[in-house]
Chains A and B, each alone.
Chain A
């Protein structure tokens, strides 16, 4: 895929507060990229720098290999769907969507065709005359998307666009956004703090924390092969344990040695080990690799969330079979369920 956007060493300093600490990132054509991280990690700041709404303190932004730091937002081939839609309250749906085209002085005939086509794409056919302020959050969202896409940008920036919607609507919109992205075939850069949203929609996820990129990768990579403790903790639920690498394929923690599939560490290196709750199994005492007592069991719909206390720690386990509280059980896992991360490794 062709390289479209490149951030080079972007630093942003808000009055002595380093929000971005040297971001290097390349984004390709037709990609659905998600910037994922907790609030305050700098993801929205990075998006605003790309949109041209705030200047970076240092570093360069390239768009199709041209440095665009000094290009004002209205001259960038980028459109944005804002956090709370930012629709023009004094215009109806049609005029909101037509805004960009009218600025470009296209003929009203062409505008009408394009606007109607776009309203159809976002499922708002026939809503042109409605006042945007009288619409529901989901509908306003669609107007905001139509208003941005009608300009046929090369990149669409989406700043937590689903944050204000309820869970069910959010899920619907996730699928719809993905569908729209495939249909129009342009790059989407999506900012969210919701890891599930990121995993559902993205081709590539950029995990950020404290103004730094922690990991870049596809959803399965990020989930199955987190690079460090932060990523493992932020994406999905996990049991994170400190241990020591004894040799290739052999790790020690909680007073025992276990077989694993990781190699390439120095002998005796301190490591973080991730075990996903769904990879742990509750088995009869004698069949387990570890022994513990069931402390609690919560029904979560699809699975039970069970806490088992061993001599050293509490383990969270997701399983479809319930276990009796206070019962002594064994815990089982396979070597490939242990994911070993170097303590030093950040992206």
Chain B
């Protein structure tokens, strides 16, 4: 066993070099500013204070708004799709799951780029509208385009996690509900939906967290003026070169994400406690 324990060492180095040191650097940058010739770094809280400028807070609010809308749309679209997949026969199930996951084999950048050619002023949709003698619609660089891109990218995660919850449900429980006189609608509302909530919640975690911090989708489909928190951080590092401020925003983001994860987990556990808990069925 001792020999095996040694195998962990390269991994430790990897974690340390790849995760721990960069994180510490972010913390270091966030709490410092460029020093003078005597001291390379100077401790400061200015970077954090700077963030609470209305301009930046607005960006944060906007990010949350977009992420919440995206998550809600993913639930509304994803639940029925997951429900249908879970209820067709097994062969078709495998096929549908393949179709849902297949786009994920292609790089997200490529997929997001292709939306540009569909949505742009002279793109596929507008080309068709012009062909029908209708006036073209401005779609690129709007909330619509950004949210569409996000929903498109994150929907599979929602579908898969709801599907998992629905598929592992014991069919006998649903039969029991019919047996006790509940019709399909009543069975869905009183049994199936409550029991699938854990899937919805893990879906929310999988969609909301990346949606609140993404910068690629708003950059491509929202344009240079479309500013979400992810873009703000990217700008600070790449365009402005303000690594200290960028690090501070990253830390604020990380804190918010950790808090929201904690809240979802807690909510999830509350449900689990009333629903599951090592019973025979589960």
Contacts and interface: CB of A to CB of B under 8 A. Distances in A.
| B180, B278, B281: residue with the most chain A Cβ atoms closer than 10 Å | B180
Interface string B269-282: 00100111111111
A88 B173 contact: yes
A164 to B, nearest CB: 7
Interface in B169-200: 170, 172-173, 175-183, 186, 190-191, 194-195
A110 interface: no
A89 B279 contact: yes
A14 to B, nearest CB: 14
B176 A86 contact: yes
A90 B194 contact: yes
A132 B139 CA distance: 53
A328 interface: no
Contacts of A78: 179
B280 A84 contact: yes
Contact of A134 (B172, B175, B181, B279): B279
A74 interface: yes
Nearest to A52: B178
B179 A87 contact: no
Contact of B175 (A73, A137, A151): A73
Interface in A70-104: 72-75, 78-80, 82-90, 99-100, 103-104
Q: Is the interface of A mostly helix, strand, loop or mixed?
A: mixed
A51 interface: yes
Given A99-B180, A100-B180, A100-B181, A89 B175 contact: no
- Size class of A's contact patch? 20 to 34
B181 A85 contact: no
B172 A84 contact: yes
Contacts of B280: 84-85, 133, 137, 140, 164
A72 B175 CA distance: 11
Interface in A243-280: none
Given A84-B172, A86-B170, A88-B191, A79 B179 contact: yes
A36 to B, nearest CB: 22
Given A89-B276, A140-B280, A82 B194 contact: no
A53 interface: yes
Contacts of B186: 103
B178 A86 contact: no
Given A86-B173, A90-B195, A133 B180 contact: no
A80 B195 contact: no
- Size class of B's contact patch? 20 to 34
Interface string A25-47: 00000000000000000000000
A147 interface: yes
Nearest to B280: A84
Contacts of B276: 89, 133
| A75, A89, A133: residue with the most chain B Cβ atoms closer than 10 Å | A89
A103 B180 CA distance: 8
Contacts of A177: none
A102 B196 CA distance: 21
B178 A73 contact: yes
B181 A104 contact: yes
Contacts of B279: 87, 89, 132-134, 140
Contacts of B176: 80, 82, 86-88, 147
A134 B279 CA distance: 6
Nearest to A99: B180
Contacts of B181: 74-75, 100, 103-104, 151
Contact of B172 (A79, A82, A131): A82
A72 B174 CA distance: 13
B63 to A, nearest CB: 34
A75 B179 CA distance: 8
Interface in B231-282: 271, 274-282
A103 B179 CA distance: 11
Contact of B281 (A75, A79, A80, A86): A86
Contacts of B182: 74, 99, 103
A131 B274 contact: yes
B189 to A, nearest CB: 11
Interface in A95-143: 99-100, 103-104, 131-134, 137, 140
B281 A134 contact: no
B150 to A, nearest CB: 31
Nearest to B173: A86
A310 B256 CA distance: 86
Contacts of B183: 72, 74
Contacts of A88: 173, 176-177, 191, 195
A90 B180 CA distance: 16
Given A84-B280, A86-B170, A79 B194 contact: no
Nearest to A131: B277
A22 B178 CA distance: 27
Contacts of A87: 173, 176, 279, 281
A158 to B, nearest CB: 12
Given A72-B183, A89-B173, A90-B271, 13 more contacts: A53-B178, A74-B178, A78-B179, A85-B281, A86-B172, A88-B173, A89-B281, A104-B181, A133-B276, A133-B282, A134-B278, A134-B279, A140-B280
Interface of B: 170, 172-173, 175-183, 186, 190-191, 194-195, 271, 274-282
Interface of A: 51-53, 72-75, 78-80, 82-90, 99-100, 103-104, 131-134, 137, 140, 147-148, 151, 164
13 contacts: A74-B181, A75-B181, A79-B179, A84-B172, A84-B280, A86-B176, A86-B281, A87-B279, A87-B281, A88-B176, A88-B195, A89-B275, A134-B278
For the complex of A and B, list the 6 residue pairs with the smallest distance between their C-beta atoms, beginning with the closest: A133-B279, A90-B275, A100-B180, A86-B172, A86-B176, A73-B178
